[in-house]
Chains A and B, each alone.
Chain A
Amino acid sequence: MSLSTVEVSTAAAPTEDAAAKGIQGRTPLQLVVARLRTDRVAIASIVMILLIVLLAICAPLIAHVTGHSPTEANVDTGTDANGQPLPPGSAGYLLGTDNLGRDILVRIAYGAQISLLVGVLATAIATVIGVVVGLFAGYYGGWLDSILARIMDVVLSFPYVLFAIVLVSVFGASLPLTILVIAFFSFAAIGRIVRGQALSQREKEYVEAAHSLGAGDIRIMFVDILPNLVAPVIVLATLLIPAAIIFEATLSFLGLGVEPPTPSWGNMLSDAEGVGFQAWWFYIFPMLFLLATTLSFNLLGDAVRDALDPRTERIFAARRKRKPV
């Protein structure tokens, strides 16, 4: 991870302008932002993610404006004269209604809250645990490393979808449990990479220098070594978010995640499947939003990886967070 703290400005020809400005020092963050700004795919995915965040934040507003609750059936207006669901574009229902006459747009907006909450929170917890475990294992080595590395191996070789389902079935489905289960099965992916990096970093001269200055182990780990591992951790975390969102949607689809009537994209699709292929709009909208979200995060993750350091690809090639099949 050799993100030099100062890089010579890459202005092409030494014009008078550039000469007048002199050579600028740029921080790694500035460099990454500059690279991302020229990446059209990255810009598009960031815009998409911001739109979905906006949708999630505005969910109560949308419910208020339309007057449709995400969970209550709209008995009078939500169905046509024969009690059939309304197709998209019907008066007051932009994306139509489901078989109970509920507004699909409002439900999707609330579903976005769940997906983003689970994706970000589970990833955050997994990242914190993974970084701490990985740093301790890689920095101290010895028996602590053996134990922690074995634990991560075990977690990674778990049939984790099955195990998550068992956990949920014993303790009952709930949002906090869903988040914790996802975090537990994701931390090892980060921990393993942090460990590997910490193993090589601790042999570097700057660590020796910190030691000789009297820095303690904790300080060396978190103040000296950790900043050098930020790049792979950020990339992996960005890629864990869509994996967590898929996991939540899958659990909810199986009826083991978010409990109806609270809408999540997964249980909306499960409801849609429950009534057969009655109407295409029951499916297509939750599917589109779910795909747009996961695809945006994956595209962004790839772009961030390229921007941070094109060479990190090799670290991730070996193993990627797997998803339920």
Chain B
Amino acid sequence: MTRFLIRRVILGLITLWVIVTLVFVLYYAGPHDPARQLAGRAATPALLAQINREYGFNLPIIVQYWDYLKRLVPIPGQFNLGISNNNRLPVTTIIAQAVPIDISLAVGAAVLWMLLGISVGVLAARRPRSLWDRGATVFVLTGISMPTFILGLLLLYVFYYLLTIHGIAIFPKPGSWTPFTQNPLEWAHDLLLPWITLALITAATYSRLTRSSLLEILGEDYIRTARAKGLSERRVVYRHALRSSLTPIVTQFGIDFATALGGVIITESIFGLPGLGLTVVQAIEVQNLPVVIGIVLVASFFVVAANIVVDALYAVLDPRVRIS
């Protein structure tokens, strides 16, 4: 188990390193001039030369690459994601401001999509080929076929625009955001539509996973044994079957949750929430590359870390993995 975890951590570090290197190549070797971007429109050759000297843009690419890697070593004082080209704020500060929004979005949406996805899946698996199952299939396929921005726009149109112009202003206008610590009720109210958007889109995958996994498990011998012991169907499904069919769901959940933490670009853009996703899109529009790279790295870190946690949880949830 320990050896397995060490291997996974090393693999995760390699993945991060590959991402860092790719981003670096894009940033420094891509067809654009970082000095000119820092200098702004009316750059004189002297200013460009000075910026090149200060930031080391004229050094050999290998040296720049090494310095870039050294800045990423997680030691306080040394760790540094650079400075925004836009407002000269450290990128770490910008990220720290945006992350609470992503945490709020991810936690709320995750609760909803797990509840919805798993219950629809269980419903479908308990009565395969019934009307419930058909309904679940429609739900799943619609969810998978539905682009996030379309669902977001639809919800916004119906629940914000139509209701508001008819004098029923239940939902806040896009761009509303209240920190949880300030007012938890207001916080949930502002995030309700984004949560629903994210949850409906994501729940489809979970229904499908739960259904196929549960159906497979319900056919196993130990379920027949449990039924033969005279346990109630409810107990058999929820205590015995659902528990072991959770394994693939946990895997998927880890990745989805981490991806959401790293910024949900579309949902944030539509609802005007200044999390990592909207911040990165805005940074891209003005070619503010230090911010873009910082956020890509943080988002990748979440995903890589989630992969490792998921693998560890796998062993805890599934006794068969633990023994082997």
Contacts and interface: CB of A to CB of B under 8 A. Distances in A.
Nearest to B147: A246
B248 A170 contact: no
Given A158-B300, A165-B280, A318-B248, A325 B144 contact: no
A240 interface: no
B62 to A, nearest CB: 20
A178 to B, nearest CB: 15
A64 interface: no
Interface stretch (B48-56, B150-158, B182-190): B150-158
Given A254-B265, A325-B264, A171 B144 contact: no
B267 A325 contact: yes
A159 B259 contact: yes
Interface string B137-168: 00001101111111001100100010000000
Interface size on A, as a range, is 35 or more
Interface in B1-32: 11, 14-15, 18-19, 22-23, 26-27, 30-32
A254 B148 CA distance: 12
A143 interface: no
Contacts of A290: 147, 150
A256 B23 CA distance: 18
B209 A170 contact: no
A314 B213 CA distance: 9
A169 interface: yes
Interface of B: 11, 14-15, 18-19, 22-23, 26-27, 30-32, 141-142, 144-150, 153-154, 157, 161, 198, 201-202, 205, 208-209, 212-213, 216, 248, 252, 255-256, 259-260, 262-267, 269-270, 280-281, 284-285, 287, 292-293, 295-296, 299-300, 302-304, 307
Interface of A: 150, 153-154, 157-159, 161-163, 165-167, 169-171, 242, 246, 249-250, 253-256, 269, 273, 277, 280, 283, 287, 290-291, 294-295, 297-299, 302, 313-314, 317-320, 322-325
Question: Top 9 closest A-B pairs, CB basis?
Answer: A294-B145, A295-B145, A317-B212, A170-B30, A159-B299, A169-B284, A277-B161, A246-B147, A325-B264
23 contacts: A150-B11, A157-B304, A158-B19, A158-B300, A159-B300, A162-B296, A163-B22, A165-B280, A166-B26, A169-B287, A170-B27, A250-B148, A254-B266, A269-B150, A277-B161, A280-B157, A287-B154, A291-B150, A294-B147, A317-B248, A323-B144, A324-B265, A325-B266
